[in-house]
Amino acid sequence: MYAASSAIRRPRIGSLGLPMGKLGMWVFLASEIMFFAGLIDSYIVLRFSTPAWPNPSTRLSIQLTAFMTFVLICSSGTMVLALSRIQAGDPKGLKFWLGMTILGGLTFLGCQFHEYTDFLITHHIRPSQDLFWGTFFTLTGFHGFHVTCGVVARIWAFAKACLGHFDAHGHEAVELVGLYWHFVDLVWIILFTIVYLI
Amino acid sequence: MSDSPPTADAAVLPVPHAGATVKTYLAIWGALAVLTAVEIGVTFLPISHAVIVVSLLLMAVVKAGLVALFFMHLKFDGRVLRVLAVGPFLFVLILLSVLLLDVYFVQVVYG
């Protein structure tokens, strides 16, 4: 009991009065906002400067990505529930909802894998084919990479939860992987709208 | 230090703020799901493309705002984190404005 509890880390408060891990994660997310902003801005400019941009619904499966969007929103919901369970001192609830969040992330990645293999292998589409496909693979590819990192981070947090590393007062890692995951969800909300719907 | 019970250490720490209640989280999740369904529905409406684009962008901004404010706890966090979150958008706006001006000049003025 004590051996497991001693592994629990309390958040360290910095001179700004904020937990240092949380501040660090937000600085990282600020850089991520600018990273995705660069990609999204390039996409907007390329679309504006290309008169005959194809209607996305003629090339992409909106039903599949609508399902992927729904799964990602659900996994963001399960992530906040995971955090609220451990804040209430319920490690079992944390493990359950964290597991559901991992499942949501894997489902999203499975759908994206299916989408990519359909385009790349079945239809022999290449990113270099035209601007539409170039921007599509760049934007969704980088987002998919972030989803993968998010899933790996949550598997790590899940393993730590199983080893008893979190309690009501020491669960900063859960909060940090949660913040990252919500950011990935937020980026997808924007990408789904501008790449698939508009 | 090492032989003190961990509960004593925890007792002096403030109770972690819960952010929002589970009920609020579920309401936000519901709003996000409904807005996504509305977004897809709007694309099938027989209205002008410009109206569809503007309404889709507005709904995306609302959804992103809900995620940031509630799921990412910005509504309950202090000023420093809010500035950190909103600050980059200033650079995003500068970048987008300059790039769009470039497109305008290339296409309309010199085109």
Dump pLDDT digits (tens) for A109-124: 999 999 999 999 999 9
Query: Residue B18's pLDDT is what?
Result: 52
Q: Please name which of A8, A7, A25 lies closest in space to residue A184, comparing C-alpha atoms.
A: A25
Q: How far apart are CA A150 and CA B62, in angstroms?
A: 23
The answer to whether A49 faces chain B, any CB pair under 8 Å, is yes
Q: Confidence class of residue A143 from pLDDT cuts 50, 70 and 90?
A: very high
Query: Residue A13's pLDDT is what?
Result: 86
Q: How far apart are CA A171 and CA A86, in angstroms?
A: 7
Which of B16, B67, B84 lies at the smallest CB-CB distance from A76? B67
Residues of B in contact with A42 (CB under 8 A): 99
Instruction: Please write the tens of the pLDDT for every residue from A15-42.
Output: 888 889 999 999 999 999 999 999 999 9
Cβ atoms within 10 Å, residue B50: 8
Phi, psi for residue A2 in degrees, rounded to 5 = -70, -35
Query: Residue B13's pLDDT is what?
Result: 46
Query: Residue B9's pLDDT is what?
Result: 47
Query: Residue A161's pLDDT is what?
Result: 96
Q: Does the pLDDT of residue A184 top 90, yes or no?
A: yes
Q: How many CB pairs under 8 A join A and B?
A: 146
Counted residue by residue, chain A has a size of 198
Task: DSSP letter for A2, please.
Answer: H
Q: Does the pLDDT of residue A43 top 70, yes or no?
A: yes
Element (H, E) at A69: helix A62-87
Instruction: Please write the tens of the pLDDT for every residue from B13-44.
Output: 444 455 688 999 999 999 999 999 999 999 89
Are B32 and A18 a contacting pair at CB < 8 A?
no
Residues of A in contact with B22 (CB under 8 A): 81, 84
SS3 A13: strand
Token pair belonging to A59: 């090339």
Task: DSSP letter for A56, please.
Answer: G
Q: Does the pLDDT of residue B4 top 60, yes or no?
A: no
Which residue in B13, B25, B26, B90 has the most chain A C-beta atoms within 10 A of its own C-beta, making it the best mutation to test that interface? B25
Q: What is the mean pLDDT of residues B56-83?
A: 92
Query: Residue B12's pLDDT is what?
Result: 42
Q: Are A163 and A8 in contact (CB under 8 A)?
A: no
Residues of B in contact with A37 (CB under 8 A): 88-89, 91-92, 95-96
Percentage of residues in chain B with pLDDT exceeding 70? Answer: 82
**Prediction ipTM score:** 0.88
Q: Are A10 and A169 in contact (CB under 8 A)?
A: yes
Q: Does the pLDDT of residue A149 top 70, yes or no?
A: yes
SS3 A19: strand
| Mean pLDDT comparison of A98-112, B19-33, B45-59, highest-scoring range | A98-112
Q: How far apart are CA B82 and CA A30, in angstroms?
A: 11
Q: How far apart are CA B45 and CA A177, in angstroms?
A: 39
Q: Which of A139-153, B59-73, B92-106 has the lowest mean pLDDT?
A: B92-106
Q: Does the pLDDT of residue A87 top 60, yes or no?
A: yes
Are A8 and B6 a contacting pair at CB < 8 A?
yes
Q: Which of A14-23, A59-68, A103-112, A118-127 has the lowest mean pLDDT?
A: A14-23
Query: Residue B58's pLDDT is what?
Result: 95
Threshold 0.80, pTM exceeds: yes
Q: Does the pLDDT of residue A2 top 50, yes or no?
A: no
Q: Does the pLDDT of residue B10 top 80, yes or no?
A: no
Are A38 and B39 a contacting pair at CB < 8 A?
no
Are B71 and A185 a contacting pair at CB < 8 A?
yes
Q: What is the mean pLDDT of chain A?
A: 93
Which of B16, B59, B81 lies at the smallest CB-CB distance from A168? B16
Token pair belonging to B29: 């999740």
Q: Please name which of A181, A75, A146 lies closest in space to residue B25, comparing C-alpha atoms.
A: A75
Q: Confidence class of residue B62 from pLDDT cuts 50, 70 and 90?
A: very high
